[in-house]
Structure 1
């Protein structure tokens, strides 16, 4: 039995019918690489069953303390049933991209059963008409509650069911499993009392770690290394209000080599800076089309993993966050990239000064009952409509593998992500890199973005503008200097008469002054007439 951290438990408290708090992925696979050239559903079941012991999240469920007096606990589920968590559906013909987007949105809108292990796999067949993908592909739409994993531990969960070569399904391997009995109420109440006794000591330790960070931040602000000029609330947009129960999902794919080429245009820029610039441009175009673009820059929250090397397989969340302005007020794409780069550097410096891990530790001290009540009241009373948002949307970057992955022998040909939205924040952009590609997918409330294809098109246009800006800048850098030096000198000698008279002046001496004075005098007289 293991207790959830304050940060993990907060996702449980925030979970409502309108705001299910799970994250996930949409992997698309080509079954032609599997032994025999196809994959049956029973093959997938056998494959997942053989991997259940590789990730603890698969068979652990929540047990909540009575009246939420303390944070919940994880226990091994004695009634685990694989077929409850792995499901099978198919798209009708023609099986195109828009149909898949609608189906992913419907699956994502439905919350997980909090009384069972908090994950669900949906196999979606019939992907026969998606541009750039082989006919006959299937998708794995995965959902895992945010209380169980963050983006980085989600990569470990993904690694549990994937191989680096198309190996046949091992039907003989079935891990032995024995669950735990649910703890008695008296045991949980006793644990709650012990936690309340030790809480002040933990708080004092965290506070002691904060003081040096706060002093370091003050020094860096005073020294000009960190600026607080941009520290402000985000502007209100159509993305920042009370969310409903319905979702939309879509995404676009780019070549990672193009993203890297763009980042090289700005010294010190990163791939993440370019992605944030694309999102900034996409939001600028989309909100302009909806007549809802504010004059100030939109602000995104970018999660930061504080997971140490030895904590990669740990359950739950080990993340902090930084706020970055994404230059939606700037039309020029390269100017926007320079702006985002500057803002990202400053935000990282602020986070590093205080300590990202220290900020995360403070979530442990929020009273569990108060946190749950506050989350429910915030949603029920629609408080998000009454104040300016801290950030407008989320942009989370999940690094994926560079080598091909296989699931039950089928090759993964594309990977995208899904994420939760909640009151006050109705859009999350998930960035996932896999092989030579990097994808920006997004999840949003259906009432806030009723036309997801238009936002996807705006992201594509934003990327294209950045890409087109590169060769123009390179041509100017290479050709501007020689063109200005040589032709500029010749042009002056040919077209300007006073310039042509200079060599005559040297040859003829003072006599050249008389015709030089008369020549400009005549046009002046004509101009007066």
Structure 2
């Protein structure tokens, strides 16, 4: 039995009827690599049943404390009903990309059943007309509550469900006895809640004492101007109450194109490139709607703070920073350089405060008050009245660099999905797999009624940035045969080189 942390529990408290708080993704597989060239649904159910037993988050149920006096508990349920959790569906003909995205959007919009382990998986067949994939492929869409996992732990769970080769053997999956925990008594949970309540003031004082020096230095840096806090965030169509309906779509591109942009403007990062693509797409989309604000949009960027001893553990180990997307800059090169500066400023501020400090304070979140406040905010449409803290979410979830196999079927590509919530109706996930790079977006359907248009904006933004990088590369001479040093760097690179030398190694996990 394990009690949820304040951060884990917050995703339960913030969930409303229109804002399910689960994350997930859909993956496309080629069954031709499997033994016999086919993968049957029965095989997938048996495979998920065996592998999921290794993952506590997939076999545990939620147990709430009476009167919500404390954070809930995860209780090992031992086994689970695989036919409830693993479902089968097929696209109608012709089975194209748009149909797949619509189906994923509808499934993603449905909340999970809290009386069971908080995850579901859908096997989707009929992908016979999805461009770029061989006929006969199938997709697997999975979703799991954010209270159970974050992006990093989701990648680790994904590795348990997959193999490194197609010639897997079922006998390697040892049939261990399911671990079942006795459900805690209500009186025991109430007694533990009272003890935790008595300890809270002392823990709060201790945390504040430890955090005081860094908070003081951060405040001092902000006042002096050495540290910059993002402010004046404009309101957009994505910053109001969300509907219960969702849309999903994605940009899929060669990783080599992203690396070429990074190389042209070194020392920018892969993450800077992705944020710049998103900023350009949002600029183009809002311009087309005559809704582009004069000031820059900002994104919440989660930071992975999972330490080595927490690797393989479920739950959330994330903090966050706010990054300007520089939608106020039309030129793609100048926007990239400005985004790089913004991410460096955000990292410096986060490091000054302490990334873990911000999440530690969530442990003191009152459960009943938070859940009631979330429902009240939704019913009163407060998101439509208060100034936003950020306009969207952009998260970086690096995937494996080697091919993976599921029941012998080769994984071709993976697209992460996330929650769209009140005041933040657009969620964008950056990911990679082997030599492919993806940006997947999940949004409220009323805020983004034309996902194909926004997907095209992403493609256009990438194309303009790639063209600018190629022009930059042509203007930068290479080393001669004698090994003479390269001529002076371009003005674009000079502007960011000095600040980037002092970048902290902590912060957002980035692909190099």
- Residue-pair matches, total: 477
Q: Which residue does 2:98 correspond to in 1? A: 98
The structure having more radius of gyration, on CA atoms, is 1
Q: Which residue does 2:303 correspond to in 1? A: 304
Distance 1:223 1:393 in 2: 29
Distance 2:97 2:266 in 1: 37
> Are the equivalent residues in 1 in contact too, given 2:240–2:422 (CA < 8 A)?
yes
Distance 1:410 1:212 in 2: 53
Q: Which moved more, 1:81-90 or 1:294-303?
A: 81-90
Distance 1:181 1:222 in 2: 54
Question: What is the DSSP-based 3-state SS (H/G/I as helix, E as strand, rest coil) of the residue aligned with 1:217?
Answer: helix
Change (3 A) 1:222 1:292: closer
Distance 2:226 2:164 in 1: 44
| Equivalences for residues 109-258 of structure 1 within 5 A | 109-170=109-170, 173-218=174-219, 220-221=221-222, 225-228=226-229, 231-258=230-257
Give the TM-score of the pair, scaled to structure 2: 0.91
* Structure 1 consecutive aligned stretches of length 4 or more whose deviation exceeds 3 Å: 218-225, 474-479
- Residue 378 of structure 1 and its aligned partner are, at CA, apart by 1.0
Distance 1:335 1:253 in 2: 24
Q: Which residue does 2:269 correspond to in 1? A: 270
1:11 and 2:11 are equivalent in the alignment: yes
1:413 and 2:408 are equivalent in the alignment: no
Q: Which residue does 2:68 correspond to in 1? A: 68
Distance 1:92 1:42 in 2: 21
Change (3 A) 1:349 1:323: same
Q: Which residue does 2:292 correspond to in 1? A: 293
Distance 1:63 1:222 in 2: 45
- Residue 381 of structure 1 and its aligned partner are, at CA, apart by 1.0
- Residue 330 of structure 1 and its aligned partner are, at CA, apart by 0.6
> Are the equivalent residues in 2 in contact too, given 1:3–1:71 (CA < 8 A)?
yes
> Are the equivalent residues in 1 in contact too, given 2:8–2:147 (CA < 8 A)?
yes
Q: Which runs of 5+ in 1 are unaligned?
A: 480-529
Distance 1:40 1:78 in 2: 26
Change (3 A) 1:138 1:383: same
Question: What is the DSSP-based 3-state SS (H/G/I as helix, E as strand, rest coil) of the residue aligned with 2:74?
Answer: strand
- Residue 138 of structure 1 and its aligned partner are, at CA, apart by 0.5
Q: Which residue does 2:474 correspond to in 1? A: 475
Change (3 A) 1:180 1:475: closer
Q: Which residue does 1:506 correspond to in 2? A: none
> Are the equivalent residues in 2 in contact too, given 1:209–1:358 (CA < 8 A)?
no
Distance 2:281 2:220 in 1: 37
Q: Deviations over 1:306-328 (max 9, x none)?
A: 11011022221111000000110
- Residue 395 of structure 1 and its aligned partner are, at CA, apart by 0.2
Distance 1:227 1:241 in 2: 26
RMSD of equivalent CA atoms: 1.5
Distance 2:10 2:224 in 1: 37
> Are the equivalent residues in 1 in contact too, given 2:238–2:426 (CA < 8 A)?
yes
- Residue 477 of structure 1 and its aligned partner are, at CA, apart by 4.7
> Are the equivalent residues in 2 in contact too, given 1:233–1:389 (CA < 8 A)?
no
Q: Which has the higher helix share?
A: 1
Q: Deviations over 1:402-458 (max 9, x none)?
A: 000001110000011100011100000011110001100000000000000000000
Q: Which residue does 2:387 correspond to in 1? A: 388
Distance 1:477 1:183 in 2: 67
Distance 2:77 2:356 in 1: 31
> Are the equivalent residues in 2 in contact too, given 1:77–1:116 (CA < 8 A)?
no
Question: What is the DSSP-based 3-state SS (H/G/I as helix, E as strand, rest coil) of the residue aligned with 2:35?
Answer: coil
Q: Which residue does 1:46 correspond to in 2? A: 46
Question: What is the DSSP-based 3-state SS (H/G/I as helix, E as strand, rest coil) of the residue aligned with 1:291?
Answer: coil
Change (3 A) 1:390 1:224: closer
> Are the equivalent residues in 1 in contact too, given 2:53–2:79 (CA < 8 A)?
no
Q: Which moved more, 1:197-206 or 1:95-104?
A: 197-206
Q: Deviations over 1:63-101 (max 9, x none)?
A: 111121111000012562121110010111111100100
Question: What is the DSSP-based 3-state SS (H/G/I as helix, E as strand, rest coil) of the residue aligned with 1:51?
Answer: helix
Q: Which residue does 1:428 correspond to in 2? A: 427
Question: What is the DSSP-based 3-state SS (H/G/I as helix, E as strand, rest coil) of the residue aligned with 2:329?
Answer: coil
Q: Which moved more, 1:80-89 or 1:451-460?
A: 80-89
Change (3 A) 1:473 1:308: same
- Residue 180 of structure 1 and its aligned partner are, at CA, apart by 2.5
Q: Deviations over 1:180-203 (max 9, x none)?
A: 332221111001001011111211
Q: Which runs of 5+ in 2 are unaligned?
A: 479-512
- Residue 169 of structure 1 and its aligned partner are, at CA, apart by 4.7
Q: Which residue does 2:484 correspond to in 1? A: none
Distance 1:420 1:447 in 2: 15
> Are the equivalent residues in 2 in contact too, given 1:78–1:181 (CA < 8 A)?
no
- Residue 225 of structure 1 and its aligned partner are, at CA, apart by 4.2
Distance 2:78 2:314 in 1: 19
- Residue 219 of structure 1 and its aligned partner are, at CA, apart by 5.2
